Structure 1
């Protein structure tokens, strides 16, 4: 009886569908590329769908008759096409969407935001719901609305990401899931246009199309990168329609910043874009000032419908005054015992400088074999030269505030050469779908650093300069003379990295998918060469060549009970090759990092809203950090001298809720919780305290922004925005160390001066924006840190820096 019922049900279903028709098809853009996530609807009906990552779509169960099919996507002209459905038949269509320059311009002005964007850092163009990893993409719209200047102004819009700074405040660093992202190419976790980038001199946010963040392990795709996050800066690209804008930003402390952006076609197949900006500003910190020039020209050449070549170049000249913050006296253990100094107090010399000059070029070639297979080749060259002079970091400030300043200088030149090739393809083996990525990459880093001799006006050679008191500047008379400086030695340290990787997203069923991948990395750190410039004699460094190889696997299970919901669980393993040496000059052993993550991603209202949650645990077998002491037991100020401090565990969760409800209204909300602590320090140098939270990493971070532009009222053209950012409790100073028994190598180093954690309270800053747009002119103003919150950014164990007070910014923009 049951089988008869099933048979009748099948016959009835076939009869129903025999009386209806369906539409199948594929959507492409004007470049012939598959257009994913395009809304395809029957006009005047609730029937519709969204194209998949290959641009394909199906609409079933349509009665026979005449219809109008509507295909739409942000940035493209809406396509309407008359169709005729015949009962029992399938209509196959090929739809092409054309780029709409007017719509793009409207989007930029109105401040819309697209939720759950796919980061190009993923290399495989996997749609957000299929990507088993927490990500964040901040668009140029948000960058412009918030009047962002620095990269740090942008990434704080991503949940779980906090800002720190380098020694001397000459560059930004960032922390996520307990791990820091370095500034230099050797750090390997900050990228520009998909290739490794040195961020000395502060990248300029106003020239960026977007900033992408991938949290957790990305070792499969990029090798030796941070276990916490990687960041990619995407610069603005050429367009085949004429346009541009000119703007001027005025800010507190005599800040002014003009920017010019021009783009258009040179010929039918060749387009250009030039973005340039200049910034001059003083600071809420005494003596500190900025003078920067940044230019980014680019060319896009479409050889044919299948191949295009993109050439991007940028030039940065950044002259700033280094700022070591307020200093932290030895054995100070509470924030109330820190210097009771005004926010503007500056403890470097009045003549200190740090100048960066950087030139970068990027070449990207895309070739589409057919609708399913694509090859991308990327190459880049970056040269970064830094020159600076002043006094060293405040590493030995006495309890009473006395600070003996010693001279310090820097002259480095880093050259980064990168190349990568990625092959993407979509195919099926039986009923299983594949989205395959096969790739290889190469990186060469050559770093040249200099040593110096300092001579005072009286002819005294040495690093000693003077003494000040950070509590009471009137206690001593600070020197203002500038000693002479001479290069005495030049050290060249090269390294090569290679990697090959394969990744496949397998669609087992419409609800169950598997992402699996494996990477092999090989790195060689070559023995340095040291040239004595005074005697013109060259010798080899003490550390011999060192090579390491590693496998980095990743496996993720993805379950999608609904088309708009994805649940995933992933495991990845990375092999971090630690740079620098220990106190004896020996190379450090690698660290093995296991990363576990589960998450849920949701999309609502046809993708206008997204709600994502991720929970993670990261276990580092041996965490590398700057050594407290050198081999003689003296306080170590050389960041290249490190120690393995033992196992650490970082776990927490992140929540994001972002959306665009109309072209005039978008919001971003995020929260992240992290607890990174020492979990096994047996055998570590000195031995850290198990269970103790690591310095710099906050327990909680949160972000929220909302922008609305009035359209159909008497307030048409008025824009209002509110942004708030929270950084939770964290520690400055030093993590506690036990077991050194009086010092290293039988010295009498006193540990008591270096085992003080300085607890810093959490703080929130609130920014308010208001603007008006009329025709092609817009004016946008902002009051940042409205409530004039006072707190600190942690440099490292030696110093902290007060955050910026309440400030004003006003941008006048003309779009043409």
Structure 2
């Protein structure tokens, strides 16, 4: 059913919203003009817009899986805008889901992590969305697989082999920068992707939305949501070194207003590192309640338990990586780390009226880790030139509880003839972290890293005595407002501001002295944002933006006062293009990130205490990014990109000015090619990681400083995937690291983890 009214505008165009029979908006509907062979999907609010059209009669077609295709004639009149209300009717037959790959360009995918659903063409910021079809085709299993499709966002470390450390634009993405369904998750353990449907990356500053996040960007994992039609799949993946991973995904409606979904998987595997193994269990249940025509509630649970062998990789001698076989494991045989993370979050969405929506999200998370292993090579005990290494032992336990509550008002209104997309929000969250440290067990044994025969190795597991318990509660509060102002069809302005307040406490109990040392810090900061977009046409946009973020500091100044936050300025300019009738998206972005008040050791009165600091340093990150993505042509689709980044000390009394910060490659690039024909799929994905540095930066304050950087060579990795689907069965194969490239992720000079050599996986799936 289609109804419409005519309102005056500046040119022949039309806009509308798609709803179902219950008057719920329907996102992702394919809306096309048959005569022009042009189309676009409805956004997350069910809305779509076509502009810059010649007056005349057109055939409008709206189609979506599970609904009857709607086709209507519409007459566009010069200097008028046609407003359409489309209602889709459910199909009577039981249609199965059809995935249309590559139809939506990168510039047509609004991201939920941005809170305000702005079309990427209207957003003065770089965004990347990796959807379900791409993740499935590439058979991703770890975050490193996902990030083969991005540039400027990369894995920079894998400390202990039990985490994947992510960076963007020269800055580490710690747990404050990683989200799952809009709620922070702890990324100190390897992410599980079997329940993920989409990965969103918002590059650059997101402080206005989330407070004290690092300047490089934020990442959001969107899990699979409940559906009212019954379906699902079971699969079994096997691979190199005994990897075995069954998984299940089941969804369906319990009633007209309640739908559920359950994703679950289990995995166990050995490693190319002899003596290293892992096992994990993952469960992701969710339930959707349609409380009314305008209100829905979704509850989502997430549980991951992971147990594996800590592996700090090869050693370093005199700031050179030890040349030993990459399969050789140097750790204590019984080393173990157990990690678990569980969360529950609720999202309530209510459409107040056609223009205003209120969204409330609240969640709780609990995570823990228990590490008992050898210490890192060179962390307290250096490997001698002949390979002798005295192994010490370490033990630690961490328990963290996190909670958040967030309320957003999202509106669309017209003032003085200008359209406004408004976001008003408030959030509050807390961290309660308990960290247990143990006295290090020194001189456990001595081994030679060049020898296969570790005859002198001990195998007993000694008792270790507790040293300290650190309790570090954090309380945060933020209030923010943002407005995307459509001055006209060509000019847009995005403006907003946030105020954040954080209270950080610390109580350190010493088991030896039986005393507690306490400290506290209270910080507040404003985070403004201003961006301008100029669109000379529907398919081209130029933008410029300024934003400000902050990072908290520890320590005190020379007057024994707590340090204020470091404020970070970010400038970004770029152009977004959909060329050849939207067939290819070509986006170019340039940026500068500047921290002009970096905290560093104070030199006043020759102070040498590391906790006494001054806000006088400066770090600068500059770069340019190119992103390409095509829609399918004759079954072929293409994606790729290139990034140049230089992050360096501009001013420092601690390190050499002009020297590069560790871990950040100047050059990264990616190319992906996919071919699909009927049930066949073949793909090649490549990523290039340029030269970067680990080790330890030279200190200008230390005479004859022995610290040195370690240059890690560039490498190119290629993965090949293939799959075939016949009726309800599909078989997929993946060969990763085709060239069997040898390279390393290195943390400082003490965790040198080789990247995984050539390996394969096979996945058999049955769907219904």
TM normalised by structure 1 equals 0.85
Structure 1: distance between partners of 2:306 and 2:39: 52
Tell whether the 8 Å contact from 2:401 to 2:431 is kept in structure 1 after alignment. yes
Structure 2: distance between partners of 1:344 and 1:624: 41
Q: In the alignment, what sits opposite 1:766? A: 718
Tell whether the 8 Å contact from 1:112 to 1:663 is kept in structure 2 after alignment. no
Q: In the alignment, what sits opposite 1:4? A: none
Q: In the alignment, what sits opposite 1:342? A: 325
1:120 and 2:91 equivalent?
A: no
Structure 2: distance between partners of 1:505 and 1:470: 59
For 1:747-782, what per-residue CA distance to the aligned partner results, in whole angstroms no more than 9, with x for missing partners?
xxx731x2x111111001111112111101010111
Q: In the alignment, what sits opposite 1:295? A: 283
Among candidates 85, 96, 108, match of residue 94 of structure 1: 85
Tell whether the 8 Å contact from 2:238 to 2:244 is kept in structure 1 after alignment. yes
Q: In the alignment, what sits opposite 2:223? A: 235
Tell whether the 8 Å contact from 2:106 to 2:128 is kept in structure 1 after alignment. no
Tell whether the 8 Å contact from 2:51 to 2:538 is kept in structure 1 after alignment. no
Q: In the alignment, what sits opposite 1:706? A: 673
Q: In the alignment, what sits opposite 1:541? A: 517
1:671 and 2:657 equivalent?
A: no
Structure 2: distance between partners of 1:764 and 1:452: 41
Structure 2: distance between partners of 1:511 and 1:414: 48
Tell whether the 8 Å contact from 1:600 to 1:614 is kept in structure 2 after alignment. yes
Q: In the alignment, what sits opposite 1:727? A: 689
Among candidates 60, 76, 97, match of residue 105 of structure 1: 97
Tell whether the 8 Å contact from 2:687 to 2:716 is kept in structure 1 after alignment. yes
Tell whether the 8 Å contact from 1:115 to 1:607 is kept in structure 2 after alignment. no
Structure 1: distance between partners of 2:267 and 2:557: 40
Q: Could you tell me how far 1:798 is from its partner in structure 2?
A: 2.3
Structure 2: distance between partners of 1:57 and 1:425: 21
Give unmatched runs, 5+ long, in structure 1: 1-17, 455-461, 712-716, 742-749
Structure 2: distance between partners of 1:180 and 1:86: 52
For 1:204-249, what per-residue CA distance to the aligned partner results, in whole angstroms no more than 9, with x for missing partners?
1121011111111111111100111211111111011110011111
Going from structure 1 to structure 2, the CA distance change for 1:777 and 1:474 (only over 3 Å counts) comes to closer
Among candidates 570, 577, 587, match of residue 595 of structure 1: 570
Structure 1: distance between partners of 2:364 and 2:169: 30
Q: Could you tell me how far 1:580 is from its partner in structure 2?
A: 7.8
Q: In the alignment, what sits opposite 2:474? A: 495
Among candidates 629, 632, 636, match of residue 661 of structure 1: 632
1:413 and 2:405 equivalent?
A: no
Q: What secondary structure does 1:143 align onto?
A: helix
Q: Could you tell me how far 1:168 is from its partner in structure 2?
A: 1.7
For 1:491-528, what per-residue CA distance to the aligned partner results, in whole angstroms no more than 9, with x for missing partners?
21101111111111111121011111111010010132
Tell whether the 8 Å contact from 1:112 to 1:665 is kept in structure 2 after alignment. no
Q: In the alignment, what sits opposite 1:693? A: 660
Structure 1: distance between partners of 2:178 and 2:280: 21
Q: Could you tell me how far 1:607 is from its partner in structure 2?
A: 4.2
Q: In the alignment, what sits opposite 1:437? A: 423
Tell whether the 8 Å contact from 2:622 to 2:646 is kept in structure 1 after alignment. yes
Q: Could you tell me how far 1:99 is from its partner in structure 2?
A: 7.7
Q: In the alignment, what sits opposite 2:357? A: 374
Structure 1: distance between partners of 2:645 and 2:442: 41
Q: In the alignment, what sits opposite 1:10? A: none
Q: Could you tell me how far 1:371 is from its partner in structure 2?
A: 1.8
For 1:384-435, what per-residue CA distance to the aligned partner results, in whole angstroms no more than 9, with x for missing partners?
0111101112224245133322211111101111111111111111122111
Q: Could you tell me how far 1:590 is from its partner in structure 2?
A: 2.2
Tell whether the 8 Å contact from 2:160 to 2:751 is kept in structure 1 after alignment. no
Deviates more, 1:139-148 or 1:68-77: 68-77
Q: In the alignment, what sits opposite 1:27? A: 17
Query: In proportion to residue count, which structure has more strand?
Result: 2
Going from structure 1 to structure 2, the CA distance change for 1:679 and 1:61 (only over 3 Å counts) comes to closer
1:397 and 2:375 equivalent?
A: no
**What are the within-5 Å matches in structure 2 for residues 451-462 of structure 1?**
451-453=437-439, 462=441
1:565 and 2:516 equivalent?
A: no
**What are the within-5 Å matches in structure 2 for residues 468-507 of structure 1?**
468-472=447-451, 477-487=456-466, 489-507=468-486
Q: In the alignment, what sits opposite 1:3? A: none
Structure 2: distance between partners of 1:49 and 1:174: 33
For 1:674-707, what per-residue CA distance to the aligned partner results, in whole angstroms no more than 9, with x for missing partners?
01111111xx3xx201111111111111111121
Structure 1: distance between partners of 2:629 and 2:122: 18
Structure 2: distance between partners of 1:229 and 1:75: 37
Q: Could you tell me how far 1:661 is from its partner in structure 2?
A: 1.7
Q: In the alignment, what sits opposite 2:754? A: 802
Q: Could you tell me how far 1:46 is from its partner in structure 2?
A: 6.5
Going from structure 1 to structure 2, the CA distance change for 1:386 and 1:566 (only over 3 Å counts) comes to same
Tell whether the 8 Å contact from 1:505 to 1:513 is kept in structure 2 after alignment. yes
Which structure has the larger Rg?
Answer: 1
Tell whether the 8 Å contact from 1:24 to 1:59 is kept in structure 2 after alignment. no
Q: In the alignment, what sits opposite 2:186? A: 198
Tell whether the 8 Å contact from 1:363 to 1:380 is kept in structure 2 after alignment. yes
Q: Could you tell me how far 1:257 is from its partner in structure 2?
A: 0.5
